[in-house]
Amino acid sequence: MSASPNKNCKRLFTVCIEGNIGSGKTTFLNNFKANDNMLVLQEPVELWRDVGGTNLLEKMYKDPVRYGCLFQSYVQLTMLQLHTQKTNLPFKVMERSVYSARCFIENMKRTKMLEKVEIDILEQWHEWCIQRADIQTDLIVYLRTSPEVVYERMRTRARKEEDCVSLEYLRQVHDVHDDWLYNRSLFSVPAPVMVLDANKSVSEMMAEFEKCRRSIFENRD
Ligand code: DCP
């Protein structure tokens, strides 16, 4: 772990779980469901798969040039909806965030997948969310993995939309996350970052989860 959460914080304490595709965010997040003082918000992948009957995730992978911008714009909306979901509980734990949505936009920029004007608009939306929306975050948990490990996991889980996702693409997505949260050389980091080695097996990750959970509770009270 490389950081502690903000101390003495009595308002809602928000944690975002981040990491590459297949890094184990959902499994890690689900462990928090045993705590009845936490609102646990899974990433809205199901919404992306069914936008009024259209599987936008599938369209994005099949034709990223045509649908990449539209998809990322919808991701930003649905993530913003999670950030702003009200609760009376003291803790909110989210899978991904508006912040990491920027990683995918950055990758589309690096690989020249989108037109400059599309990137400009997505970045303006992102900037507006960061500056104006109530998306305050207290801790980022970065499930750091190697691209080879997540590639194997992704093949094993066999989500049909991800059939065409290559190891090369996972390397790109890894590099953007690492530049952002590990090397700290990309866009700004909105909260302290806890880096966990998520190449570990599910059972080994339980110990990491316990450390993380304790640290969140200890640092809030
Ligand atoms: N995705 C994307 N752009 C985003 C967010 C997600 O293209 N801004 C894609 C990548 C995946 C799918 O959506 O194909 C879900 O990705 P996540 O990494 O967010 O979720 P996973 O289900 O892979 O997470 P994990 O396996 O870590 O639980």
Domains in the chain: how many in total?
1
Position 221 scores a pLDDT of 55
Position 5 scores a pLDDT of 55
Position 67 scores a pLDDT of 98
List pLDDT tens digits, range 25-77.
Answer: 999 999 999 999 999 999 999 999 999 999 999 999 999 999 999 999 999 99
Task: Read off the pLDDT band of 3 (50, 70, 90).
Answer: low
**Does residue 6 lie in a domain region?**
no
Task: Check pocket membership of 39 for ligand 1, CB cut-off 6 A.
Answer: no
Q: Return d(Cα 90, Cα 172) in angstroms, integer.
A: 36
Which tokens sit at 48?
């992306």
Q: Is 123 one of the annotated active-site residues of the chain?
A: no
Task: Check pocket membership of 162 for ligand 1, CB cut-off 6 A.
Answer: yes
Q: What are phi and psi of 201, to 5 degrees?
A: -70, 165
List pLDDT tens digits, range 75-100.
Answer: 999 999 999 999 999 999 999 999 99
**Does residue 203 lie in a domain region?**
yes
**Does residue 182 lie in a domain region?**
yes
**Does residue 7 lie in a domain region?**
no
**Does residue 1 lie in a domain region?**
no
Task: Check pocket membership of 80 for ligand 1, CB cut-off 6 A.
Answer: no
What is the residue range of 66's domain?
A: 13-220
Position 2 scores a pLDDT of 47
CATH of the domain at 70: 3.40.50.300
Task: Read off the pLDDT band of 4 (50, 70, 90).
Answer: low
How many Cβ atoms from other residues are within 10 Å of residue 160's Cβ? 10
Pocket test for ligand 1, best of 16, 18, 42, 45 (most atoms within 8 A of CB): 45
Q: Whose CA is nearest to atom 19 of ligand 1?
A: 21
> Of 25, 130, 125, which Cα lies nearest the Cα of 70?
125
Position 218 scores a pLDDT of 84
Q: Cβ-count burial of 210 within 10 angstroms (0-12 exposed, 13-18 middle, 19+ buried)?
A: exposed
Radius of gyration of the chain (CA): 17
Q: Return d(Cα 95, Cα 141) in angstroms, integer.
A: 10
**Does residue 4 lie in a domain region?**
no
Four-point Cα dihedral 112, 113, 114, 116, nearest 10: 0
Position 121 scores a pLDDT of 97
List pLDDT tens digits, range 140-186.
Answer: 999 999 999 999 999 999 999 999 999 999 999 999 999 999 999 99
Q: Whose CA is nearest to atom 17 of ligand 1?
A: 21
Residue 12: is its pLDDT beyond 60? Answer: yes
Which tokens sit at 107?
């990758």
In order of 14, 73, 101, the CA distances from 77 in angstroms are 18, 6, 10
Q: Exactly one of 95, 106, 118, 208 is catalytic; which is it?
A: 95
Residue 10: is its pLDDT beyond 90? Answer: no
